[in-house]
Copies of this chain bind each other. A is one copy, B any other.
Amino acid sequence: MTEAIDIHTHVVPESFPPYAGKGANVPWPSMQDAHACHKHVMISGKVYRTVADGSWSVPRRIEDMGAMGVARQALSPMPELLSYWLPLADAKALIRFLNEEIARMIERAPERFVGLGAVPLQDVDASLDELEFVLAELRFAGVEIASHVNGVSIGDARFEPFFAECESRGAAVFVHALRPAGMDRIVGPFAEQAVCFPGDIGLAAASLVTGGIASRHPRLRIAFSHGGGVMPILVPRLDHAWKNLPKAQEALREAPGDIARRFFYDCLLFEPRAIRFLAESFGASQVVLGSDYPFNMGEKDPLGVLAKAGLGAQATADISGGNAKRFLGLK
């Protein structure tokens, strides 16, 4: 039987060191007790999110993994902790703390966890230094990055050295939606993550295609959260544009769809039908398990939803764990 590997789970430390930088009004996070087994993540004096103890507790996490049937999780920071908007020195300090916290969690059960660390991508040189640290010192499988860096698309040429290094080092890159486009167009009582994440992660995936980075780095192992969001809907449109816009075809040798079929996508879609559409669009070989554990918007039964997608035993096993081994570079 395939061991299930969940590539989309998040860590929030039980506490943060107090702010020790030189800035004023830096939105440095802290934790505050909430109801039983929960804490508030406080940012700039407000509750950013209330999170369950699975966020930091290894025993609780292993108990929950048992209930979900998950053998292994990739641990990545809660995206709002990625700190691209902090002064660089503060971002480096917070990110180093996060990465070491994740490493400590892995140490307690090394056969159950792999690490996807943070890097301060607002400064590409600094992100290369931290990439080296998480790969060489902490032995992480790779990194988590956001769908954009302070509004600049990750498909922008300035980030190409980072992706080139990830490709050459064989580091897995997990891209997660964050502070999405279109937040000024949310109405009603639904949160940004409910409404805007799928469009935003699609923009990130598309931008790596349309800007050429994915084409120039074909061995890059990269996965997108939330099933790539709009990406399976968008790719036929990009292919159509590529065929009809001469300048697009001049700039990009391959069809967008051929590039997109090298990416990985988690199956955090809440619907068997949507998972099947994702697998049909990009191939079952490119879909990996993702739950968003331990957050409220997560999927409590990712294997159950996957099983109902009707993809057959082999594809279902591949999506449960085999593809994640390839993505994460596990033996």
Contacts and interface: CB of A to CB of B under 8 A. Distances in A.
A236 B187 contact: no
A165 interface: no
Q: What are the 8 tightest A-B residue pairs by CB atom distance, in nearest-first order?
A: A199-B199, A181-B182, A187-B211, A194-B241, A188-B210, A236-B271, A230-B230, A155-B187
A250 to B, nearest CB: 7
Interface of A: 148, 151-153, 155-157, 181-182, 184-191, 193-200, 202-204, 206-207, 210-212, 226-227, 229-230, 232-234, 236-242, 244-245, 247-248, 250-252, 269-271, 273-274, 277, 280-281, 296-297, 299
B181 A185 contact: yes
A305 to B, nearest CB: 9
Choose among A188, A206, A210, A280 the residue with the greatest number of B CB atoms under 10 Å from its CB: A188
Contacts of A248: 188-190, 194
Number of this chain's copies in the complex:
2
A245 B274 CA distance: 22
Nearest to A204: B185
A227 to B, nearest CB: 7
Choose among A233, A244, A251, A252 the residue with the greatest number of B CB atoms under 10 Å from its CB: A233
